[in-house]
Amino acid sequence: MTSKIIANGILRALGVVAAIALLLVFIYKIQSVIIYIAISVVISLTGRPIVLFFRKRLKFNNLLAVATTMLLLLGFIVGLVGLFIPLIVEQGHNLSLLDINQLQLNIENIYNEISRHFNLKPLHIEESFQESGILSHINFAIIPEFLNYLVSGFGSFSIGLFSVLFISFFFLRDSKLFENSLLTLIPDSKVGRVKHSFEKIKNLLSRYFVGLIFQISVIFIIYTIGLLIVGVQNAVVIAFLCALINLIPYLGPVIGGVIMILLTMTSNLGANFSDVILPETLYVLIVIALGQLIDNFISQPIIFSRSVKSHPLEIFLVIIIAGLLFGILGMVIAIPTYTALKVVLKEFISDNKVVQKLTKNL
pLDDT in tens, 144-195: 555 555 455 555 666 777 888 888 888 888 877 767 777 777 777 777 888 8
Q: Which residue has the higher pLDDT, 152 or 307?
A: 307
Amino acid at 86: P
Supply the pTM of this predicted model: 0.69
Longest pairwise C-alpha distance within the chain: 89
Cα torsion angle, 309, 311, 313, 314, sign: negative
Identify whether the C-beta of residue 102 lies closer than 8 Å to the C-beta of residue 96.
yes
**Does 87 score more than 70 pLDDT?**
no
Model confidence at 68, pLDDT cuts 50, 70, 90, reads very high
- Hey, which of 80-84, 143-147, 207-211 has the most confident mean pLDDT? 207-211
How many percent of the chain have pLDDT more than 70? 74
pLDDT at residue number 129:
47
Measured CA to CA, the distance from residue 170 to residue 63 in angstroms comes to 10
H/E stretch holding 127 reads helix 122-132
**Within 13 Å and on the Cβ side, how many CA atoms surround 74?**
15
Measured CA to CA, the distance from residue 341 to residue 359 in angstroms comes to 10
E-assigned strands of the chain?
Answer: none
**Does 94 score more than 80 pLDDT?**
no
pLDDT at residue number 84:
65
pLDDT at residue number 225:
92
**Does 290 score more than 60 pLDDT?**
yes
DSSP string, 248-302: STTHHHHHHHHHHHHHHHHTTTTS-IIIIIHHHHHHHHHHHHHHHHHIIIIIHHH
pLDDT at residue number 198:
83
pLDDT at residue number 211:
84
pLDDT in tens, 224-280: 999 888 888 778 888 888 888 888 887 888 888 888 887 777 666 666 666 667 788
pLDDT at residue number 98:
47
Q: What is the mean pLDDT of residues 25-51?
A: 85
Identify whether the C-beta of residue 88 lies closer than 8 Å to the C-beta of residue 97.
yes
Q: What is the mean pLDDT of residues 344-360?
A: 80
pLDDT at residue number 119:
67
**Within 13 Å and on the Cβ side, how many CA atoms surround 34?**
7
How many percent of the chain have pLDDT more than 90? 3
Quote the distance between the C-alpha of residue 131 and its chain's center. 38
Model confidence at 125, pLDDT cuts 50, 70, 90, reads very low
Measured CA to CA, the distance from residue 14 to residue 150 in angstroms comes to 43
pLDDT at residue number 186:
78
**Does 216 score more than 70 pLDDT?**
yes
164-177 core/surface letters (b: 16 or more CB in 10 A; e: else): bbebbbebbbebee
SS3 breakdown of the chain: % helix, strand, coil, rounded to 5? Answer: 85, 0, 15
Mean pLDDT for all residues in the chain: 77
Q: Which of 12-21, 103-112, 353-362 has the lowest mean pLDDT?
A: 103-112
Identify whether the C-beta of residue 222 lies closer than 8 Å to the C-beta of residue 246.
no
Q: Which residue has the higher pLDDT, 174 or 286?
A: 286
**Does 200 score more than 70 pLDDT?**
yes
Measured CA to CA, the distance from residue 121 to residue 128 in angstroms comes to 11
